Amino acid sequence: MGDMIRPWVLFVFLAALVSASASSGMAGSTKVTHSITRILVLGDSLTEGYGVAKEEAFPALLEQELRRTGHAEVQVINGGIGGSTSASGVSRLKWHLRARPELIVIALGANDGLRGLSLGETRRNLAAVIELARRQELKILLAAMKLPPNYGKEYSRGFHRIYEDLARDHLLPWVPFLLEGVGGEPSMNLEDGIHPNEKGHRKIAATLKKHLEPLL
């Protein structure tokens, strides 16, 4: 009777051993992975960092600040091209989609205003960028621009109203003025009075960080 039991005891022991080994192997192969959150800043020379080093432009500074304050897996893509207008927004966003961003900061339109382009055209172009970003299921932060007072009150008010209307109509979070505390401040800008210096870029990064964190 005892000799008949031993094979079963051996079988149970081997089965338990195999099960434990498999569980150990699965635990050993399990890795905790962290996905990178990519933020695309789609803009012009302000975003590109005209007149300052690339690492001093606000997209790079924004990434540093976000990582420093607990968002270690964030990558900010500098999608700025000097001289660009809102007309290029859709084609450029399509190109940047290859990087698989999850969030986009739309910082376009300044050159439209400085060139006195049609307000209706600028609105349509920005709306098209928003709609494409929505189709791609990107989170969106709209960064508004303002014009110097010498462009005329009516045109300047109408220009800024574009961003107000788009934010309302598309239910978007927005930055009322990307250059808040920078525009018109000599100490924050290069000699041309238009493009931010290193200090100005730090201020822009701080402004964007405040509006971006709730979206991360």
What CA–CA distances, in Å, run from 88 to 91, 105, 108, 112, 122? 6, 15, 9, 11, 11
- Which residues pair with residue 103 across a beta bridge? 39, 139
Which H, E and C letters describe 147-204, residue by residue?
Answer: CCHHHCHHHHHHHHHHHHHHHHHCCCCEECCCCCCCCCCHHHECCCCCCECHHHHHHH
Phi, psi for 80 (deg, rounded to 5): -100, 140
8 Å CB contact between 46 and 178? yes
Q: What is the CA radius of gyration of the chain?
A: 26
**Cβ neighbours of residue 149 under 8 Å, at least 6 residues apart?**
156
Among residues 44, 86, 112, 195, which one is catalytic? 195
- CA-CA distance, 76 to 79, in Å (whole number)? 9
195 an active-site residue? yes
Among residues 45, 84, 86, 88, which one is catalytic? 45
45 an active-site residue? yes
Q: Active-site residue numbers?
A: 45, 192, 195
